[in-house]
Structure 1
Amino acid sequence: MGTVEAYETARGKRYRVRYRTPDHRQTDKRGFRTKREADLFLATIEVSKATGEYIEPSRARTTIAELGPGWLESKRSRLKPSSYRAIEDAWRVYVMPRWGATPVSAITHSDVRTWVSQLAAGTAKTNRRDSVRTRGQADRKKSATVVIRAHGVLASVLDIAVKDRRISYNPARGVDNLPRKHRKAHQYLSHEEVERLAVAAGEFSTLVYLAAYTGLRWGELTALRVRDVDALRRRLAVNENAVRVGSEIHVGSPKTHEVRSVPYPEFLELPIAKLCEGKARDGLLFGDGQEYLGRPRSSGASRSWFMTALDAAGLDRMTVHDLRHTAASLAISSGANVKAVQRMLGHASAAMTLDVYADLFDDDLDTVSASLNEARTVAIAR
């Protein structure tokens, strides 16, 4: 059992609590103004020792800056480069400037809620130089995605502090003022609109057709190699995904880490065969066939080939990735079942496909009600 002792200071009497840690080391905490405060602290220590919840004060003084790098490094080997880049940016631009010097024991739930509100409003402390370079204007309101990601990084680092027994609970968990992400409405093109776009795309027409009729992601499309084409079965083997992170191209497995075989329509046989001409089996299907320096650039730039083609075809602005939604729409309208669409798109489950493209099945509700009405009519007429 610990003891409480009084001692004199220039500001008057104070109290010191002496106690032993679970590993039998003697330590103390001083500065209590009243004996009651000291007694309550000692009682709390004894209870925490008895229940196994004791936190070593020196470990509780560890800062977020000391824990963050280790957490980031553990993520580097598990995440794809583009995903890692996103959380590393969130750490550097938003989490480190605000919380880096803060001991984990000093962070309160209210502090985190305030920070989340400030991030959403664009008034939180950030690394302004990096924020301008990577996010645009530093003091603009942050998107829901940015706020949720930054909060997630802080909460995850504090999870490590809890597991390391530096704090007893995570003050970042249970925050109820995180902004909601609103799913962007999908853009779907008709067969006629896809045709106009492909014609306007010129040398990139086959790329447009494949995106609109197979649903391959941009990185999957531009990572296709001649060896991935099965002309007899009209199939494309999706084995790799090439993603630009900064100035570098990173090649890895597809998004779900699973290879898949995707069919392509008969009318694309000849265009794909022409892309294969004169290239080695390991050559890239698109571009000059060499490594990724010669592949087509993405559609992000305002003056890209894709944006130019959209303008020429008289279509609203969209991205190559939006053609993935068109592929889902055209497949479902042609009668393909959900499981087949899931496999084509590389979704983790059919439930995910239904969730993402629920709006494409609205007509099925009318069919259900019509079928129920017909069944009732037949049953009653008997």
Structure 2
Amino acid sequence: MASIQPLANGKRRARYRDAAGKEHARHFDTKREAQQWLDQVTASVVRGDYVDPQAGRTTVAVYAASWEAIQVSSEGTRRIVDNALRLHVLPVLGGHKIATVRRSHVQALVKELEGKGLSAGSVRNIYEVVARLFDAAAEDRVIASTPCRRIALPKGDGAEVVPPALEQIEAIRSHLDERWQVIPLVLAGSGLRIGELLGLGMFDVDYLRRSVRVERQRLQSGALAPLKSKTSRRTVPIGEVVVEALTAHLAAHPGTDEALFTDEWDDPLTYRRWKSLWRAAATTAGVDATSHDLRHFAASALISGGASVKQVQTFLGHSSAVITLRTYAHMFPGDEDRTRNVLDAALRPVLSPSADSVRTEAAPR
């Protein structure tokens, strides 16, 4: 129900009740202005895009807390969202009333993130959280529309993946304690992600068929969890070098049904412990490489051996060949020599017509 009431001071008080029965009112100088406002409200209700003016006064921080609490996602995704909000978004936008956030505010946030030296990929990941947050607010009718429109994001630096050389891997391995030296070999020989490797149990390795069954991952919290996608669940072939190294390792340091690799106390080796061990060994060896680079080494070896894009995609557990090509396209051999020969054959008569005519006259009739 809507109405316009004249006031003693000559102004007009327009008011209406929303679907929840809450009354909203504004004062205007003329009855015409009051009626126009009520008409706009009525039209927004009919279109289905009505927004409670009071809802937009909620701060970004308050809405983000309630939004984050109801998200259904994996632990890894929850951690990414929480870090993005807590470390980057809320310190900048958290105090704003959510309805007052404009496109320029979001663009300024992106610019600030870039200025902190974050990679283009990191900035994009944080922005995706912001976009999801404001999309939800628009769906909840807290705001009329999201401010995340036409935001210019930094482009990647285009740096190509450069896998470590075998000598560099061996240098790092030599600075690891004997108990851990098998892990770089397994990573380089299987292309597993570190979470996938730490999620392996004793019975995930088939020594007869020389393969590893990847069915779960170990999160940074230490808990076992499903893989992030269906394509990540796969059987990975491994060679004799990896099989022999694993056999020798397990003879000295038996694993368990839950964990193929354990620490000195027979507890599952954690991500943080392994990261610390690798960083120390790499620093001592003077090699700038992460353990994830061993995955690139495996991919590079396959490509050098003539593997197709599809084979590399399946081996690594990529969800699509697009991801494989985006990462490793520069490693696949091209057909440059054939291209050069074809173009030379087409252009040679133009550059050397006399030589071509000589060859024609000399040809047997």
| TM-score bracket for the superposition, by shorter chain length | 0.7 to 0.9
Task: Report how far residue 146 of structure 1 moved.
Answer: 4.6
Match of 1:269 in 2: 243
Task: Report how far residue 320 of structure 1 moved.
Answer: 0.9
Distance 1:36 1:148, change over 3 A: farther
Contact 1:306 1:320 in 2 (8 A): no
Task: Report how far residue 174 of structure 1 moved.
Answer: 1.3
Paired letter, 2:79: R
Contact 1:299 1:307 in 2 (8 A): no
CA distance in 1, matches of 2:197, 2:255: 18
Q: Kindly tell me the number of residue pairs found equivalent between the two proteins.
A: 344
Provide the secondary structure at the position in 2 that maps to 1:180: coil
CA distance in 1, matches of 2:192, 2:174: 20
Whether 1:285 and 2:256 are equivalent positions in the alignment is no
Distance 1:8 1:114, change over 3 A: farther
CA distance in 1, matches of 2:43, 2:224: 54
Match of 2:42 in 1: 46
CA distance in 2, matches of 1:184, 1:300: 26
Match of 2:356 in 1: none
CA distance in 1, matches of 2:228, 2:22: 54
Distance 1:54 1:210, change over 3 A: same
Provide the secondary structure at the position in 1 that maps to 2:192: coil
Residues 110-149 of structure 1 aligned to structure 2 (within 5 Å):
110-121=104-115, 140-149=116-125
Whether 1:78 and 2:73 are equivalent positions in the alignment is yes
Task: Report how far residue 195 of structure 1 moved.
Answer: 4.7
Contact 1:60 1:105 in 2 (8 A): yes
- Please, which of 159, 164, 175 is the counterpart of residue 189 of structure 1? 164
Match of 1:157 in 2: 133
Distance 1:307 1:106, change over 3 A: same
Paired letter, 1:333: S
Residues 253-301 of structure 1: per-residue CA shift (max 9 Å, x gap): 2343542111112223322111222636516333448222588933457
Distance 1:297 1:307, change over 3 A: farther
CA distance in 2, matches of 1:3, 1:265: 81
Residues 24-63 of structure 1: per-residue CA shift (max 9 Å, x gap): x584422435656434323322322332322233334343
Match of 1:357 in 2: 328
Match of 2:194 in 1: 218
Residues 70-92 of structure 1: per-residue CA shift (max 9 Å, x gap): 321233x412x233212112222
Whether 1:366 and 2:336 are equivalent positions in the alignment is yes
Paired letter, 2:87: V
Contact 2:202 2:260 in 1 (8 A): yes
Paired letter, 1:182: D
Contact 1:55 1:167 in 2 (8 A): yes
Task: Report how far residue 341 of structure 1 moved.
Answer: 1.3
Residues 119-151 of structure 1: per-residue CA shift (max 9 Å, x gap): 434xxxxxxxxxxxxxxxxxx455444543443
Provide the secondary structure at the position in 1 that maps to 2:274: coil
Paired letter, 2:41: I
- Please report the TM-score for the alignment, with normalisation by the length of structure 1: 0.76
- Where structure 2 has 5 or more consecutive residues not aligned to the other structure, the ranges are 348-359, 361-365
Q: Give every structure 1 segment of 4 or more consecutive aligned residues whose post-TM-superposition deviation is greater than 6 Å.
A: 373-377
Paired letter, 1:206: V
Contact 2:313 2:324 in 1 (8 A): yes
Match of 1:105 in 2: 99
Stretch of structure 1 that moved more, 347-356 or 106-115? 106-115
Contact 1:61 1:104 in 2 (8 A): yes
CA RMSD of aligned residues (A): 3.5
Provide the secondary structure at the position in 1 that maps to 2:141: coil
Whether 1:55 and 2:55 are equivalent positions in the alignment is no
Contact 2:173 2:281 in 1 (8 A): no
CA distance in 2, matches of 1:220, 1:256: 12
Contact 2:192 2:316 in 1 (8 A): yes
Match of 1:18 in 2: 15
Distance 1:106 1:343, change over 3 A: same
Match of 1:252 in 2: 225
- Please report the TM-score for the alignment, with normalisation by the length of structure 2: 0.79
Contact 1:275 1:286 in 2 (8 A): no
Contact 1:300 1:319 in 2 (8 A): no
CA distance in 2, matches of 1:333, 1:120: 36
Residues 79-94 of structure 1 aligned to structure 2 (within 5 Å):
79=74, 81-94=75-88
Paired letter, 2:323: M
Match of 1:332 in 2: 303
Q: Which has the larger radius of gyration?
A: 2
Provide the secondary structure at the position in 2 that maps to 1:272: helix
Task: Report how far residue 357 of structure 1 moved.
Answer: 0.6
Match of 1:95 in 2: 89
Residues 92-119 of structure 1: per-residue CA shift (max 9 Å, x gap): 2333344444433232223333333344
Distance 1:210 1:370, change over 3 A: farther
- Same amino acid, percent of matched pairs: 30
